[in-house]
Amino acid sequence: MEIGFTLIPSERKKGYCTEVVKLFVVFLFLSKDIVRIQARTDTRNIASQRVLEKTGFKKEGVLRKIIFMRGEWRDLSLFNILREEWKEPKILKF
Ligand SMILES: CC(C)(COP(=O)(O)OP(=O)(O)OC[C@H]1O[C@@H](n2cnc3c(N)ncnc32)[C@H](O)[C@@H]1OP(=O)(O)O)[C@@H](O)C(=O)NCCC(=O)NCCS
């Protein structure tokens, strides 16, 4: 399962993306029979990588010159979170 995200410029840097990705990871692990969730970001995209790190994703490596976009070959960082590393929120336990 792979996720991606984009926020309209006026709503960036307010913590919304981190909040939504955290909730989405909870939803995916609780509702789908999956062992990992992955995301790819441009290696220069600090905001996106911070969102993933703060959500518990780990960097798996760099996919070098994996995509041609706006006139250049770009490197993408591959991040993942595994089910066994994911901490189920206590609030959801009965
Ligand atoms: C990536 C994106 C979704 C992040 O959304 P956001 O709601 O602004 O993210 P948050 O507010 O949750 O911030 C996450 C972290 O990134 C940091 N950050 C946000 N914008 C940043 C920027 N321009 N440069 C450096 N760091 C930045 C924040 O400070 C925060 O880190 P911190 O907690 O250590 O301070 C948003 O910037 C965006 O839509 N970008 C354009 C599309 C894009 O790049 N999508 C990702 C493709 S993989």
Q: Can you tell me the mean pLDDT for 3-15?
A: 97
Domain with 65, as residue range(s), is 9-87
Check pocket membership of 49 for ligand 1, CB cut-off 6 A: no
Looking at residue 88, its pLDDT comes to: 81
Looking at residue 42, its pLDDT comes to: 98
Looking at residue 89, its pLDDT comes to: 78
Where residue 43 sits, what CATH number does that domain have?
Answer: 3.40.630.30
**Residue 84 CA: distances (Å) to CA of 29, 36, 45, 80, 81:** 10, 9, 27, 12, 9
Looking at residue 63, its pLDDT comes to: 98
Check pocket membership of 5 for ligand 1, CB cut-off 6 A: yes
Model confidence at 94: pLDDT above 80: no
Domain count, the chain: 1
If you measure from the C-alpha of residue 41 to the centroid of ligand 1, how many angstroms do you get, rounded to a whole number? 11
Check pocket membership of 9 for ligand 1, CB cut-off 6 A: no
